[in-house]
Amino acid sequence: MPESAPHGSADGDLAPVLARLEDVSKNFGSRRVLKGISFELRKGEILGFLGPNGAGKTTAMRILTGYFPPSQGRVWIGEQDLFREPQKLKRRIGYLPESVTLYGEMRVCEFVEFAAQVKGLAGIKKRREVEEKLTRCGLWDVKHRLIGRLSKGFRQRIGIAQALIGDPEILVLDEPSNGLDPKQIMEIRGLIRELAQDRTLILSSHILPEVSALCDRVLIINKGSVIASGTADELESGLRERHELVITLGPPADKAGVFRLLENVPGLERISIETAREGLVTVVVGIEKGRDVRAELSRLFVTQNLPLLEMRSGRLSLEEIFMKLVLEENEDASQREDA
């Protein structure tokens, strides 16, 4: 079973816990889309939610922001139960939803003012707040433009400006860079990093580079469960240890013979054999964590008189490893449904 501990080994210097989901489940009808997830958000960190589409990221974020309650489990904001005092506690959380409903006919400043009004601000306080957020999010120069005329990058900034109204200590950003072009992604990342200097953030993404670029700690979520967690570094080095070797042998190597030979080598996890052109046999083997079998394999091929033409590390990109992790998890779950 994969680990499902809410956090890795980041217990060294303990910043206070600002929010905590405790064994939270969510059912929609008979579908269970969150299956008892627990994690905590510590002051000052950027926590990443990583998982494929449909994993449950948005659902978890909606619960954390008080949008709807969990079916089971509890949500703590500091020492208080979010759903006991939602009005008061929701003010401590700013939320950029997955798809922000923006009014295209509104001007940028009108929309941000409207958001400030909804959060109970008025008069000079409201004006100051709106000005500050427009400036902070790089919207000052477009404040009189119609929202409908602006690029997706700007619209995302407007969503962030709206979330920042009232200076909530926790900011929840659901796929903040989804749908942006590379330049806009870099800009939004810059903004997120700035915001993180005096705030605690949780953001979701379905792509790994996004969270590894921004987050101090990552939870990998799949099918409503946390399947791995840790700092971006821990996660990366842990995942990196999973590796493959790609080996090419020349004639007289044959598929069946090579398979029989490798079958008995300890430390190999998966063996897949392909016949390449001109009688070459290419083998991809998965190597057990922490093992190095290269010397042993080359000796083995020599003793069998099989010419070893190539042996290279089939290092996967982090993104590939992440996808593998998710796929393996899904295979485990539906092993018997498959033909």
Ligand X SMILES: Nc1ncnc2c1ncn2[C@@H]1O[C@H](COP(=O)(O)OP(=O)(O)O)[C@@H](O)[C@H]1O
Residue placing its CB nearer to Mg ion in the complex, 57 or 155: 57
* Rounded Cα distance, 219 and 61, in Å: 13
Q: Give the residue from 271, 223, 275 showing the smallest Cα distance to 254.
A: 275
CB of 303 to Mg ion, least distance (A): 54
Q: Does 207 contact ligand X by CB under 6 A?
A: no
Question: What's the maximum distance between 2 C-alpha atoms anywhere in the chain?
Answer: 86
CB of 204 to Mg ion, least distance (A): 6
Q: Does 58 contact Mg ion by CB under 5 A?
A: yes
CA 15-92-59 angle, to 5 degrees, is 90
Residue placing its CB nearer to Mg ion in the complex, 98 or 110: 98
Q: Does 282 contact ligand X by CB under 6 A?
A: no
Q: Got the DSSP string for 178-239?
A: TT--HHHHHHHHHHHHHHHTTSEEEEEESSHHHHHHH-SEEEEEETTEEEEEEEHHHHHHHH
* Rounded Cα distance, 82 and 99, in Å: 23
Q: Does 28 contact ligand X by CB under 6 A?
A: yes
Q: Does 99 contact ligand X by CB under 6 A?
A: no
Q: Does 65 contact Mg ion by CB under 5 A?
A: no
Give yes or no for a contact between 301 and 278, defined as CB atoms under 8 angstroms apart: no
Q: Does 177 contact ligand X by CB under 6 A?
A: no
Mask 15-54, x = binds Mg ion (CB under 5 A)?
A: ----------------------------------------
Enumerate residues 38-97 that contact ligand X by CB under 6 A.
51, 53-59
Q: Does 30 contact ligand X by CB under 6 A?
A: no
Burial of 87 (0-12, 13-18, 19+ CB in 10 A): exposed
Residue placing its CB nearer to ligand X in the complex, 175 or 187: 175
Give yes or no for a contact between 296 and 265, defined as CB atoms under 8 angstroms apart: yes
Give yes or no for a contact between 58 and 174, defined as CB atoms under 8 angstroms apart: yes
Q: How many residues of this chain interact with Mg ion, rule: CB under 5 A?
A: 3
Q: Does 225 contact Mg ion by CB under 5 A?
A: no
Chosen from Mg ion, ligand X, none, partner binding at 225 (C-beta under 5 to 8 Å by type): none
Residue placing its CB nearer to ligand X in the complex, 32 or 291: 32
Q: Which residues bind Mg ion (CB under 5 A)?
A: 57-58, 98
